Amino acid sequence: MFAKVIVDIAHAAVDRAFTYRIPEGLDVRPGHHVLLPFGQGDHVKEGFVLSVSEESDLDDGVTVKDVLACAEPYTVLLPEQIALAEWMQEAYHCLLVDALRLMIPALLRGSRIHEKRERIVYLADPAAGFVSKSHIQTEVVDLLKQTGQPMSVRDIKAFLPGAAPAIAALLKKRVLSESSYTVFRRPEYSSRTEAVPALTEEQAAALQRIEALSPGQTALLYGVTGSGKTEVYLRCIEACLDRGQGAIVLVPEIALTPQTVGRFAARFGDRIAVLHSRLSAGERFDEWRRIRLGKAPIVIGARSAVFAPVENLGLIVIDEEHETSYQSEITPRYHALDIARRRVRMSGGKLLLGSATPSLLSYYRALNGSYELIELQHRVGGRPLPTVMIADMRAEFLNGNNGIFSSLLLSKLETCLKQGHQAMLFLNRRGYSTFVSCRACGYVLTCDNCDISMTYHKAQNAVRCHYCGARKPVPFVCPHCGKPFIKYFGMGTEQVEEQIQKWFPGTRTVRMDADTVAHRDAYEQILSVFGRGEAQILIGTQMIAKGHDFPNVTLVGVVAADATLSFPDFRSSERTFQLLTQVSGRAGRDRDPGQVVMQTYAPDHPVLRFARVQDYPGFYQYEIAQRKKCLYPPFSLFIRLLLSGENEDALIERGKEYAKALEADLKDALGAEGQGDLLLLLAAPAPIARIAGQSRYQILVKLLRTRRLPQALRAVYDFETSHREDGFLKIEINPQDMF
């Protein structure tokens, strides 16, 4: 027998199948993780078996080496996963081995992680009498007699400290026998038990339509916040289990809290496995094995969980499908939604996308029929959507209020606190002040390594760069003109927290942003403090906008609703609308109705007008018309080639050269009738021209979406391949950020 094996080395030169002989007596199947001799020195390398056949395809006389061993007794890749990786290799132009590595725990490679086993001992002959001079040996035997069952060595030692030598001696005398079993290290979460609610009419209708989807089909579940989407997911999963199928549920990393997991655990208990970045290596390995060995047919996880080894996959759910975190920013730059579509087509399962603010692309696909559109228009229990009020900060200023809170927000906060309710204040900027500048000469304090202004952090009394982390002491005089007119502008979350103390002394607040959740458990701690009511106000960046369900929150304040509107990105309207809707949805989720105050300098902006009445379809119609007019996605596709390097002049030179060559390649690929597909090819320094000492230059390409798009993409990828050795070129198809 022969095996085609891909060696676990990420290099284009060896990224192909090599043929090995399977020695007699070794059970090697496709998907096995194997050890093999490789290269001239026959160094032992690891590899993955892609296929197995009776015949070798090598010419006679070519020496074939033997597979040495299987690293694990079970196959680590399902046939479906191998096929998926092969598809990714084509679609993302990546190394096959890079795609395969996404499907297994990183530490499995190199056997850097092992099963945890628990040793147990039992009486070899329970009926036999036992006499010994050793007091402790007698105690061990008595203990086992009393229990009448095998006991773990750990338990015995807990019961009888210092029993280890006695156990060893008893094993030697064969009074005791031993064996062991695998324990799975599991992440912690609380599964609050809750009664299974009867579905609302809308939910029941949604469930029925999802059940009726044909294999491989995708549905978009568009439901306002609090409409009970999660309950619909739970029922669909239940139906899957009844059919003997498995399911994967993706949620944004940030929403993957014990609270969310607890809801699934309450329904499905041990049949769920959890995958996210805060697991320890052991937990990750064991959760993966529980999935692979069929103990956990339901997986809940962040983006990469879309690769989980679930057999007989009946359903993939992507909650908050509009979230940007579903796009991977490292090679292979996959989007979880594309992988999920591919997977359900291969397995004959269904894909369910859920959101209160679908991405423009998904809603567009739903309206034109490629997705089934399913709606939940009402909140569960007839709870009203929160009332949204606009505070016009221009008018506040004219009335002499130059503070960060409007009088409206202040009075709503006062009432909320008085009633013993909780509030959330949202501002998408951390730190105290967002920039530091000299009033005399206009100098703005920027990072030495990056082309970006630095943020003032009062708690550390320092200014910091949010791109490279650089830190400087606060200047007292202007570094440029020497005058003492240094001022701080633009507020961040730190300042909001300080101002709350000024207005409402003694109020307990918690703040959640990248500064306060630096260590592993901080995020969950802050949420649980707030959840238990030990703080009255939660202040935070977009981290607080997603998915949380705090029944006592009746007021949400958006401190600067237009902060993200002015981003130089065609998606800024879409993202602002999504954020405003998501954060508003945190208010009034229980009995007490919710109120939202949005502070803005642009109350007439269409995004604000639609967000105020929470009219997603209205917003969609407005925004899709803008996109169509300017031929922005989904009507076109952006591609960015980012070059970076130390020498700015050489970089610009190279960038211009590349732009010319790429344009020629693209025009070639598009052919005579496709010349108009190339809407834009712009070579210029990136908006942030320097980060961490590296200059940045970009070539921005905009292509019309036509049937010729695959040819154009192929040309871009080929361009990348032929310039790969240069080492400073990065290609992003549909870049999520274009700074």
CA distance 293 to 308: 12
Measured from the CB atom, the residue of 380 and 436 that comes closer to ligand ADP is 380
- 231 binds, options ligand ADP, Zn ion, none, Cβ within 5 to 8 A by partner type: ligand ADP
Measured from the CB atom, the residue of 28 and 256 that comes closer to ligand ADP is 256
CB-neighbour burial class of residue 566 (10 A; exposed 0-12, middle 13-18, buried 19+): exposed
Confirm if 304 and 275 have CB atoms less than 8 A apart.
yes
Measured from the CB atom, the residue of 231 and 321 that comes closer to ligand ADP is 231
Using the Cα atoms of residue 519, residue 520, residue 521 and residue 526 in order, give the sign of their dihedral.
Answer: positive
> Beta-carbon neighbour count of residue 617 at 10 Å?
12
CA distance 473 to 428: 24
Binding residue for Zn ion, selected from 156, 300, 391, 450, defined by CB under 5 A? 450
Q: If you search the block for the tokens 């002049």, which residue do you land on? A: 649
Measured from the CB atom, the residue of 357 and 433 that comes closer to ligand ADP is 357
- 465 binds, options ligand ADP, Zn ion, none, Cβ within 5 to 8 A by partner type: Zn ion
- 455 binds, options ligand ADP, Zn ion, none, Cβ within 5 to 8 A by partner type: none
Closest distance between ligand ADP and the C-beta of residue 677, in Å? 40
Stretch near Zn ion under the rule CB under 5 A, chosen from 172-180, 440-448, 479-487, 535-543: 440-448
Which chain residues interact with ligand ADP by CB under 6 A?
Answer: 197-200, 203, 223, 225-231, 380, 549
- 449 binds, options Zn ion, ligand ADP, none, Cβ within 5 to 8 A by partner type: Zn ion
H-run or E-run covering 311: none
Query: Side-chain half-sphere of 579: how many Cα atoms within 13 Å?
Result: 28
What residues from 592 to 611 belong to the interface with Zn ion (CB under 5 A)? none
Closest distance between ligand ADP and the C-beta of residue 575, in Å? 19
Query: Helix, strand or coil for residue 64?
Result: coil
DSSP secondary structure of 17-40: EEEEE--TT----TT-EEEEEETT
Measured from the CB atom, the residue of 316 and 463 that comes closer to Zn ion is 463
Closest distance between ligand ADP and the C-beta of residue 341, in Å? 22
Q: If you search the block for the tokens 């905009």, which residue do you land on? A: 702
Measured from the CB atom, the residue of 445 and 450 that comes closer to Zn ion is 450
Closest distance between ligand ADP and the C-beta of residue 529, in Å? 20
Measured from the CB atom, the residue of 231 and 287 that comes closer to ligand ADP is 231
Closest distance between ligand ADP and the C-beta of residue 129, in Å? 60
CA distance 526 to 533: 11
CA distance 362 to 340: 14
Does 470 contact Zn ion by CB under 5 A? yes
What is the Cα Rg of the chain in Å?
30
Query: Helix, strand or coil for residue 627?
Result: helix
Helices assigned H by DSSP within 102-163:
135-147, 153-159
Q: What is the DSSP letter of 195?
A: P
Binding residue for Zn ion, selected from 35, 389, 468, 624, defined by CB under 5 A? 468
Closest distance between ligand ADP and the C-beta of residue 199, in Å? 5
- 447 binds, options ligand ADP, Zn ion, none, Cβ within 5 to 8 A by partner type: Zn ion
Polymer length of the chain: 739
Q: What is the DSSP letter of 453?
A: B
Measured from the CB atom, the residue of 121 and 452 that comes closer to Zn ion is 452
Closest distance between ligand ADP and the C-beta of residue 163, in Å? 48
- 246 binds, options ligand ADP, Zn ion, none, Cβ within 5 to 8 A by partner type: none
| Binding interface with Zn ion (CB under 5 A) | 447, 449-450, 465, 467-468, 470
